[in-house]
Amino acid sequence: MNKINIALLGLGNVGRGVWEILQTNKEEIRERSGYDIEVSKILVRDINKRRDIDVPKGILTTEPEEIFNDESIKIVIEVIGGVDPAKDYMIKAMQSKKHVVTANKLAIATCGSELIKTAKEEEVRFCYEASVAGGIPIIHGLNESLTANKIEQIMGIINGTTNYILTKMYLDNMSFGEALKEAQEKGYAEADPTSDVDGYDAVYKLSILTYLAFGKKISVDSIYREGIRNIEAIDIEYAKEFGYVIKLLAIVKDVNNVLELRVHPTMVPARHPLASVNDSFNAIFIKGNAVGDLMMYGRGAGDLPTGSAVVGDIISILRNDTDPIFKLEGSKSGNLKQINSMENTKSGYYIRITVKDEPGVLGKISTILGQNNVSLLSVIQKGKGQEFVTLVFVTHKTLEGNIDKSIKDINLLSSVKKIENIIRVEKMEV
């Protein structure tokens, strides 16, 4: 049996998952890859740190050059995360003629072109299946299985933390703060949950998916982003009344050869498959012009699901070691020259407003909406005989620019206390 030496850069959550899978499934991996895989070096910050896995101290190092200069190491697994120093480490590994596998969504989203260019120049493989949706093989799917399709749209729940929080708010009537605290206690959310709850994590992953599906490199700063901090229990309840479930969706659509990209809370019809994706699970809904509707579902984070994708990439490299270049290019879906502005995107909208309980308020707001070409699908008024009551509107699909103009005018009404929330509604076919 052939033997291959690999090295890990990092031994955090994902690194531990990779180590555990390589040890637990050693026989299966040997049989499927044709190699006996040995982890010969692991880069860590502190060799003496107490760890909850049994790793021989002799393979731990604090010196990355020990890995780059070791000619016996053929594959380097980067699971440090972030851009610095991860990007430089990956480039140095490639320049040392080592294949690289990473789970680093931020580095791929922001520095992917440079990493891909280096891999090509050095004729090594660069694999990043674990960077999006953990154990779901979405990157392989877009790079291989779906290449016969013109991808028309992708909608995904690609952040497990926010999905867990919204699930708890929906099923257990928790507030956002209560659900976030529980997510932190279970290890789904970091002490600083900003990247997850404010939508940054989903933006990084959407950038990668867009490149793969549409061949278009998108700056993460150009993707519209809105997190879930403003979702309140009352919005969850109104969504139920209207037949919707609120999810944080990452969306990219080809609309007449123009790309529409956004990450935001979305009301999804309760009958749609995405609405039933609960807990920390991820799901990616794809529409192709040949395959039609397709949904991939599974664990989107965690040590073992993400580690599974990493080890899958290692096996992929070993199975194809006669071909020096891993398939890196995004599939091309026409000449997409333009990114749509948010004001020109179309959606339905849920609008919750607190107003004075006085005659004519509903009529004035409805008139403003009509004057701005916003058609109403449903209206609910809650409260009676109080100083302030709640009005809730759900609109038909309309331009976001029309909603913006309407909200500006509605805010000028003396009877309006506050626009409490606005949530986009996707009336998806099933």
Annotated binding site for NADPH: 105
The phi and psi torsions of 41 (rounded to 5 degrees) equal -150, 145
Q: Which amino acid is at 226?
A: E
Contact (CB, 8 A) for 302 and 19: no
Three-class DSSP category at 280: coil
**DSSP class of 63:** -
Candidate list 92, 205, 247, 405, residue with the active-site label: 205
Instruction: Give the Cα separation of 222 and 209 in Å (integer).
Output: 15
Contact (CB, 8 A) for 95 and 89: no
Give the CA distances from residue 286 to residues 226, 252, 279, in Å, rounded to whole numbers and listed in that order.
22, 10, 21
Instruction: Give the Cα separation of 247 and 53 in Å (integer).
Output: 35
Instruction: Give the Cα separation of 60 and 57 in Å (integer).
Output: 5
Instruction: Give the Cα separation of 349 and 427 in Å (integer).
Output: 10
Instruction: Give the Cα separation of 162 and 205 in Å (integer).
Output: 14
Beginning with the edge strand found earlier in the chain, give each strand of the sheet holding 60-61 in spatial order. Answer: 60-61, 35-43, 2-9, 73-78, 99-102, 126-127
Q: Which residues contribute to the annotated binding site for L-homoserine?
A: 190
Instruction: Give the Cα separation of 305 and 21 in Å (integer).
Output: 10
Instruction: Give the Cα separation of 173 and 178 in Å (integer).
Output: 10
Contact (CB, 8 A) for 36 and 3: yes
Instruction: Give the Cα separation of 319 and 308 in Å (integer).
Output: 16
205: annotated active-site residue: yes
In sequence order, the 6+-apart residues with CB closer than 8 A to the CB of 163 are 157, 247, 248, 277, 278, 279, 280, 281, 282, 300
Instruction: Give the Cα separation of 24 and 313 in Å (integer).
Output: 17
Active site residues: 205
